[in-house]
Amino acid sequence: MGSIKTLRDSGQAQKEIKNSIFIAYAIPVENEDEAKLFVSTIKERHHDANHNVSAYLINRDNVLAMKYDDDGEPAGSSGKPVFKILEMKELSNVAVVVTRYFGGIKLGFGGLARAYREAAIEAIENAGVIEVSDKSIVKIESDYSDMDTVSRLAEQYGAILKTDYTEVVFFTVEVDLDSKDAFQEKLINVTRNRVTII
């Protein structure tokens, strides 16, 4: 997949439209369970609200999960417009909930869709959009004599997650999926094939 666009942080926004209060929350999530937990947490927090409209889109490790819920609003007027924002902005691993406290004035189908969409967009913009690369784990077995070279290269291409010192040194390195091959090739060349990639 290469890289995905997701949220940097959690974001929030509040709008008042014809006396109705719309409070939007957007967060990055790792999986569908996290998304569901976030939705239920917001629903509990705003249990007195008229509607807690939600949408999420998860695309991770070849698993695609998408869901939206109008939560009592007219079908297609709220959950779907919020979900469409995620699609339009090409976001993955994101959950959004927009809470509505009804103010007594009906907004109509178009007005509802616009209100939910605008609140969701603002929360997403407040969270900030970032591009994240897919990661890959590389395990390397090295002699102590090549330890510094392996260490330097690993830091150049990614991050060392773990180092185990036994008769040899075992490195667990995280690199961007796109640069994994280049990293392994360089490692073999620089150490003249003295390292073992497990």
pLDDT tens across 154-187, in order?
Answer: 999 989 999 999 999 999 998 887 888 999 999 9
- Report the top-level CATH class of 3-132: alpha beta
CATH topology of domain 134-197: Alpha-Beta Plaits (3.30.70)
Contact 19/104 with Cβ under 8 angstroms?
A: yes
Please tell me the pTM assigned to this model.
Answer: 0.73
Q: In the predicted model, is pLDDT for residue 150 greater than 60?
A: yes
Parse the chain into domains and list their residue ranges: 3-132, 134-197
Tokens of 51: 């509607």
- SS3 label, residue 159: strand
pLDDT classification of 133: cutoffs 50, 70, 90: confident
